[in-house]
Amino acid sequence: MEEQAVELPYPAQLTDPTRIRAAYLRMAKVALEEDFGDGADVSTLATVPADATGTKVMRARQAGVISGLDALAIVAEVADERHVELVPLVADGDRVEAGDEVARVEGKIQHILMLERTLLNILSHASGIATQTRAWVDAVEAAATSPQGCKVRDSRKTLPGMRMLEKRAIVHGGGYPHRYNLGDQVMVKDNHVELSNAAEAYARVREFLGEDATTWVEVEVDTLDQLSDLLAEGKARPPQVLLDNFTVEDTRKAVELRDQLAPQVLLESSGGLTLDVAGDYAAAGVESVAVGGLTHSVRALDIGLD
């Protein structure tokens, strides 16, 4: 019986409320320490009456996808002594247009102004990732030819301390996150095979893990010859192969080769991909594209506190 391709693994950390909360608490404490660690906000204390209360609105200034509201709730909790309440008006993952209200911030005006930049930094950064991810998802979904479709995946190219925020933003944008950390899955990349080749490196990983191991392994190849050797008959094949810096034409050839030798193996394109050619790679037949730029080169979504 022909083996069937399996589903990509999903990082358990991104659905674990305890892990999510712990990560956001760490991020919130660092962010607040950066703003309040060396003295008072003189400009606010000097110009705004201490007893003044009111409401300010977070408003999108451009269209996009919202992410980070769950993190802002933790920031408001950590800063509870500042008597500020965050009231979301949309949900993470929602599309918004320019001018739409995203959330209300209620409480003492002094404290709202002190927290303004921290709140906007987190929300605009995460929403920028979610917005860019959604653009990629829309592009590949319309063009995918694999029976499993084509998923948009991220990388570990995240800012220290913000991995949870950034990877959940990928999810809110419709993406399918890669491994959360080095222990989640095995990624055999070019630096791991300098003294051998991709097929030998994969054999060593299987030996290290043990024959009964269920750990997901992805192996990177740079050429069609490497792919052919890795998928050759009689060899144990990895569940997933990453095609690094392949042209669209070579990607089509790789898909044809995979279909002939090991149709159960999933293929992923990565390396220098841009949004304007995302659909071409999806149309070539890969099951996913990995895009480091979703996190390391993102442009923040313009959101203001009015």
Active site residues: 117, 157, 189, 220, 244
- Separation CA 72–CA 75 (nearest Å): 5
Element (H, E) at 84: strand 84-88
- Separation CA 261–CA 283 (nearest Å): 20
Q: Other CB atoms closer than 10 Å to residue 301's CB: what's the count?
A: 26
Element (H, E) at 137: helix 109-143
Token pair in block for residue 89: 């008006």
CA-based radius of gyration for the chain: 23
Element (H, E) at 126: helix 109-143
Q: Counting every residue, how long is the chain?
A: 306
In terms of Cα–Cα distance, which of 133, 72, 149, 78 is closest to 103? 72
Beta-sheet pairing, 266-270 with 186-188? unpaired
Token pair in block for residue 245: 């810096």
Q: At what angle do helices 163-172 and 17-36 cross, to 10 degrees?
A: 120
- Separation CA 168–CA 174 (nearest Å): 10
Sorted by sequence, the CB contacts under 8 Å of residue 263 that are 6+ apart come out as 2, 3, 5
Furthest C-alpha separation in the chain = 77
